[in-house]
A and B are shown apart, each in its own frame.
Chain A
Amino acid sequence: MRALGPGSVSSFLKTILDVVFVALSIGAGAGALLSLAAMVVVANPTLLDATAAADLKAQGLSGPSLIIGLAAASLYMALVLVIVGRLRRIFATLTAGDPFQPENIRRLRVIGVMLAVLEIGRYPLAALYAWLAPREAGAHASLNPTAWFAVLVVFVLAEVFREGARLRREAELTI
């Protein structure tokens, strides 16, 4: 099975990325709307019925923690959306059979930066969440070597694409 071009593995992965992109867009939008709704409810607690308020209290969730949680989830999805969006465009060039386009260098660098931002943002967010909802387990701010390895690999890949784009340009202008 071919790796590049129409009907190849790249084109199959591009389709998957398209579906993920749409799902993430909906998720990020829904998260943003929920954050707004939570802000409205916190500002005006009478909107929440007594049972729901008691449920939240029983789970150890306060209004601010809920808003921060939802806003963080939306932001996370928005950043992942940027990554998936750039990946889609890269895979579109792979599907077209022409991967070494100069635009792919910038796309890979953006992906690298977004991965780094996601990883760096995880630490203060986990600390904040642990402070706001101490009963909730799962918020760990430990160093993730795999994530940093991935960031470095993406930046190295961007340089590989840069070299590929340079060679492609030279081949185009060789008479």
Chain B
Amino acid sequence: MPIRVRLDRILLERRMSLSELADRVGVTVANLTILKTGKARAVRFSTLEALCRELGCQPGDIVAYEPGPSDDFDEDGTDG
């Protein structure tokens, strides 16, 4: 996916753990891990808003576009 999530870098800069952010944002650690590892297909504005609020940053600090192949739906249940 050409959209890169830079959550780990921001967390490192803020010296905040993933579970702490999950508590503050109201998202499960599992879902935040999906987002952090770039496996998420979409982010709700409400989640993005909460992330920006708690991390004190802009949406552009969390996500970035890097040209690359798009992921298509795979019938095996994985994203290729």
Contact = CB atoms under 8 A, between A and B. Distances in A.
Nearest to A169: B73
A166 interface: yes
A175 interface: yes
Interface in B44-80: 44, 47, 73-77, 79
Given A175-B27, A175-B47, A102 B76 contact: yes
Given A102-B74, A175-B47, 12 more contacts: A101-B77, A102-B77, A162-B73, A169-B41, A169-B73, A169-B79, A170-B41, A173-B41, A174-B40, A175-B27, A175-B35, A175-B44
Contacts, number: 40
Interface of B: 27, 31-32, 34-35, 39-44, 47, 73-77, 79
User: Lowest 3 A-B CB distances belong to which pairs?
Assistant: A173-B41, A166-B73, A174-B42
A174 B44 contact: yes
Interface of A: 101-102, 105-106, 162, 165-166, 169-170, 173-175
Per DSSP, are chain B's interface residues mostly helix, strand or loop, or mixed?
loop
Contact of A173 (B39, B47, B75): B39
A158 to B, nearest CB: 10
B44 to A, nearest CB: 7
30 contacts: A101-B77, A102-B74, A102-B75, A102-B76, A102-B77, A162-B73, A165-B73, A165-B75, A165-B77, A166-B73, A169-B41, A169-B73, A169-B77, A169-B79, A170-B41, A170-B42, A173-B34, A173-B39, A173-B41, A173-B42, A174-B41, A174-B43, A174-B44, A175-B27, A175-B31, A175-B35, A175-B40, A175-B43, A175-B44, A175-B47
A170 B73 CA distance: 9
A155 to B, nearest CB: 15
